[in-house]
Amino acid sequence: MTASAALRRTFAPRGSLRGTVRVPGDKSISHRAIMFSALAVGESRIEGLSDGGDVASTAAAMRAMGARIERGPDGAWTVSGAGVGSLLQPEAALDMGNSGTSTRLLMGLVASHPIRATFVGDASLSRRPMNRVAVPLRRIGARIETSEGGRLPAIVEGIVPALPQSHRMEVASAQVKSALLLAGLNTPGVTEVIEPAPTRDHSERMLSLFGAEIERDGPAIRIRGEAELRPQHVIVPGDPSAAAFLAVAASIVPGSDVTIADVGINPRRTGLYDALKAMGADIAFENPRELSGEPVADLRVRHAALRGVDLPPEAAADMIDEFPILFVAAAFAEGTTRTTGLAELRVKESDRLAAMAEGLAAIGVRVEEGEDGLVVHGSGGEPLSGGGEISARLDHRIAMSFAIAGLHARKAIAIDDMSPVETSFPAFEATLDSLLEKAAA
C-alpha cells in the first residue's frame, strides 16, 4: 500500500494474510458504555473502548454536558457521572462529526432533561434523516427543530417531566429504539417501545448491567424511568463490523488463515458471518464466552471457495452495515448473489447501493443496481481486473470494502480518500500490513 498523495491510497495483492489480530472495540457498545457510565452515580471503568472518531464525538458531547471522562496510561477509560437527570446545559453546539449513532441516541437523552442542545455534524451526517427520532420524541413533550428535510443542524429542548409513552415503531431501528429508551430513563413511569422486528439489543443488555429496570415481553421493551444507574467495569468486545473486512479478506485471498481475537458475536450482529458461511466460507467461532453481558469469541477465518447466494430481505436487519463488504465477497464468488430489502443503505453515510454498484463496475465486476438491492455476478475466485480510482464518498465502509477488493486484483485499486476510516477503524491499514507481513515472513 502506497500513498501518492495525502489520504489517497492504493491497494494491491501482497500475498496471503496470516496471524492473530484485534479490531477496535465495538462502536455500538462503546457509545452506550460512555453514555450509561456518564448517567451512573460514581466512577465506571471501560476497557477496550473504540478509538474511532465516532465514539470520540459521543465522549466530547457527554463532557460538554457535565461528565468527567479520562483515558488512563493503560488505555482504559474512567467516567464519572452524577446520575440520571444531572445533565448540564452545554455551552456550545454538540459536534457529532460523522456519527449518526451519537446524534440519534443523544437526541433521545437530551429530550427528557431540562436543557437545550444544538446538534451539528459534517457534510455526510448533515444529509442523513433525523425525523425518525425527532417525531416520536416530540410526542413525549420535547421541542425539536430540524433543518429542511428533517436533517442537521437540529435543536433539541428537553422537557421535565417528559410524558411516558408506548411507542410503536414503524421501521425496525436499534438507534430509534435506543433513543426512546434513553429518553425513558428520566421520564416518570414506564416507557414502552414496540418493535416491528427484532433489532440489536446492546442498549437493553447494558441498561440491565447498569441496574435499570428493563424487560422484554415479545416485541415490547419496557423501561421504568427516574432510574438510578450504578457504575460498572465494562469490557467492550471487538467490533464485528470492523472484523468483517478482515474476515472477507481472509476468505478471498488464497492461502490466508486469520484469527480475530475477542470479537462480539451478539446474535443480532452476526448476519454477515451467517451469510458468508452460506456462501461456503470457512469461519469458526472459537473460545466462546461472555464479557459484560455480551457474547464474545475468537473468529478464525481461512480461505475458501465462495458461491453466490440469494439473501432474503429479512437478512438486512442483522447485517445492514456489512453489506458493502458482503458485495465484495460476492464479487469473488462462483455464480450470482442477489439482495433485496436494502433501501436503508441509500441513507447511510453515503448512498451505499449506488456507491458499491459504481465502484464494483469500475474494477471489472458485472453488477446490476435495483431500487433496494444489488445483483453481483462473481469471478469464481479469480482476481478482479482492478485498476481505476474509487470514490469513497466520505464513507468509511466504502473505503475499506474496496481496499479489501484490491488485495486480490490484477491491477491496483486506488481509493480517493481513506480519511473517513478514522471514524471507526483508525488502525485499518496497519492491521492489514501486520497480517500481510506475517504471511511474508
438 is in an annotated binding site: no
CA–CA gap between residue 279 and residue 405 (Å, rounded): 17
List, in order, residues 6 or more apart from 331 with CB less than 8 Å away. Answer: 360, 365, 367, 376, 378, 379, 384, 405
CA dist., res. 395 & res. 355, Å (int): 9
Degrees, nearest 5: CA angle 331-369-308: 35
Beta strands 233-235; 41-47: pairing state? parallel
321, 372, 416, 433: which one is catalytic? 321
385 in a labelled binding site: no
Count of all residues that appear for the chain in the document: 441
89 marked as part of a ligand binding site: no
Q: Within a 13 Å sphere around the CA of 294, how many CA atoms are in the beta-carbon half?
A: 32
The answer to whether 85 is annotated as binding is: no
232 vs 42: CA distance, rounded Å: 9
Q: How distant is the alpha carbon of residue 172 from its chain centre?
A: 16
**End-to-end CA gap in the chain:** 17
224 is in an annotated binding site: no
The answer to whether residue 417 is catalytic is no
Q: Does residue 395 have a known ligand-binding role? A: no
Known binding residue 175? Answer is yes
164: nearest Cα among 111, 217, 85:
111
Residue type, 223: I
Cα–Cα dist 382/48, whole Å: 37
How is residue 315 written as a grid cell? Answer: 437478512
Q: Which residues contact 6 (CB under 8 A, 6 or more apart)?
A: none
At position 75, the amino acid (one-letter code) is G
Q: How far apart are CA 122 and CA 95, in angstroms?
A: 8
Query: Is 348 annotated as contributing to ligand binding?
Result: yes
Check whether 177 is labelled as a binding-site residue: no
All 3 cell numbers of residue 282? Answer: 470457512
Nearest partner of 185 among 290, 412, 32, judged by Cα: 32
- Full DSSP string of 50-99: --SHHHHHHHHHHHHTT-EEEE-TTS-EEEEEE-TT-PPPPSS-EE-TT-
Residue set of the binding site: 27-28, 32, 100, 128, 173, 175, 321, 348, 352, 397
By annotation, the residues acting in catalysis are 321
Residue set of the binding site for phosphoenolpyruvate: 27, 100, 128, 175, 352, 397
Residue set of the binding site for 3-phosphoshikimate: 27-28, 32, 173, 175, 321, 348
